[in-house]
Structure 1
Amino acid sequence: MPLAIHRVTQLDLAYRPWTWPFAIERRAEIDAHFANKQAEKPKLWNGQVLLGRNPVFTADRFSADYFQTDFASFLAWRDRGFIDGSVFNGPGMGALRGSDGAFVLGEMAAHTANAGRVYFAAGTPDLDDLRDGTVDIAGSIAREVEEETGLTAADYRADGPWHCVVMDGIIPLIRILDVNLPGEALRARIERNLAAQQSPEFSAIHLVHGPADFTPAMPRFVTAFIEAQLAS
């Protein structure tokens, strides 16, 4: 699937319980895969997450249905190249941006399922993100940003459109979070917070001013989003 970026102002993300055939039909394979992963990274936990299906873009709105599944099924599906194309991972991502225009990204720690990858504070939504039958992606981002960086909603301005980057198996819902600090000062603040955490999810903080700062550890949806911002 060619990469595409949709800018929308409204999200219509309904929670609709659904039985995922992949999670049922390949249960033994999924459980074995997770057991291997957990042996490598004992802190992995098979909790419940929300994945998406039926994505639709209309004018300034993105609509989709989210359903509940276990992390083990998600991990097996992801690690096998998103083999069921009927579903997608739709995480919320907070693109922290300093007052000098630098984007602030985190490198995932060794104990996480995405060790070494570099992207924005983010997380696949879970049951804590449900509000009256809908998925609260803005709330999910606020929680992930605070957990991963220590910044609260009082530290940044979250407004403007949502940037939905469509790729095979994933549609990150990215929102720019502007912070009234230059990039270096923002990085230093986050690093101080990480140093005080017992088991931080980020092992390092990266600043991106432009393509020269890109690394192979940054997924294509991250670099494509940043390129689009620099071009606008």
Structure 2
Amino acid sequence: MSRATIHRVATLDLKVEPWTWPFALARRDEIAAHFAKLQGEKSALWNGRILLGRDATFAAGHLAASYFETDFANLLAWRDWGYPDNTIFNGFGMGALRSVDGAFVLGEMGGHTANAGRVYFPSGTPDPDDVSDGLLDIGSSVAREVEEETGIAPDDYRPAAHWDCVVVGATIAMMRILDVDCPGEELKRRIEANLACQDEPELSGILLVRNRAELTSAMPLFVTAFLEAQFADQAQVTEDGSQ
């Protein structure tokens, strides 16, 4: 069974370099057939260019890795077939929106998406638009995904200075807390109003999570591990303050 490891880092050095993925090349025909089947089930799936990582190292509050371009179809096949190439990782940013009263805001993925029914923080697989001067800018990727999915813009929150990188198997979720100066219920209403104006929103619902009892099986391990760590930190602060 996979377990989660959390690395808190202050800096990210994610170089984007040309590289041919042997897995994608060797199984090209099988991957095409797999994607065609998925697309037959969900016509909204689009085989765009995305970025995956390799050679990740954590040291002294720093994450370094190399990223390369590939097709979304290759990512889905690699994931659905149990990550047969264990030298590669799916590394993406997540915006952990947090209200002034301590509620974390998550969204349930819509039925037309590749992860329908799963509950996440706003996020997305990095793509070439997130590259600047040969580096992957996860901060910009998170800001874009948060605004696209929820309507909450960078001027609406204060991003934490650090990233909590949650490693689970072949996944590295780079979490950044985004503090919003409004109560959770108000923030939820704002996001729901924004979703109602979208033609085909990625999210089908919004959840507020304030404690461990509100975690659900629809949340992947990298989400629950991050939240459990946050709640443990809050409990420690409360205990220290009461002594």
Which of the five TM-score ranges fits, normalised by the shorter chain?
over 0.9
Contiguous gaps of at least 5 residues in structure 1: none
Deviation at 1:159, TM superposition (A): 2.2
The CA deviation at 1:121 is 0.1
How big is each residue's C-alpha offset from its partner over 1:2-27, in whole Å with a ceiling of 9 and x where there is no partner? Answer: 42100000000000111000100011
Number of matched pairs: 232
Query: Is the CA contact (8 Å cut-off) linking 1:194 and 1:202 kept in structure 2?
Result: yes
Partners in 1 of 2:232 and 2:60 — Cα distance? Answer: 22
Residues in 1 aligned to 2:178 and 2:15: alpha-carbon distance in whole angstroms: 24
**Conserved? CA contact 2:168–2:221, under 8 Å:** no
SS at match of 1:90: strand
When Rg is computed on C-alpha atoms for both structures, the one with the higher figure is: 2
User: Quick one: distance in 2 between partners of 1:134 and 1:160?
Assistant: 19
Residue 89 (str. 1) matches residue 110 (str. 2): no
Q: In the aligned structure 2, how far is the partner of 1:103 from the partner of 1:36? A: 36
Q: Name the counterpart of 1:67.
A: 68
How large is the Cα RMSD of the aligned pairs?
0.7
- Report the Cα offset of residue 83 of structure 1: 1.6
Separation (CA, whole Å) in 2 of partners of 1:140 and 1:2: 26
Distance in 1 of aligned mates of 2:3 and 2:91? 17
Cα distance in 2 between the residues matched to 1:139 and 1:13: 13
What is the match of residue 135 of structure 1? 136
Whole-angstrom CA distance in 1 between matches of 2:90 and 2:22: 16
Contact persistence 1:82–1:168 (CA under 8 A): no
Partner of 1:43: 44
- In 1, the alpha carbon distance for the partners of 2:181 and 2:112 equals 31
Q: Percent identity?
A: 61
Q: Which amino acid aligns with 1:6?
A: H
1:19 aligns to what? Answer: 20
Give the aligned partner of residue 201 of structure 2: 200
Equivalence for 1:3 = 4
Unaligned 5+ residue runs, structure 2?
234-243
- Provide the C-alpha distance between the structure 1 equivalents of 2:160 and 2:212, rounded to a whole number of angstroms: 25
Secondary structure of 1:54 counterpart: strand
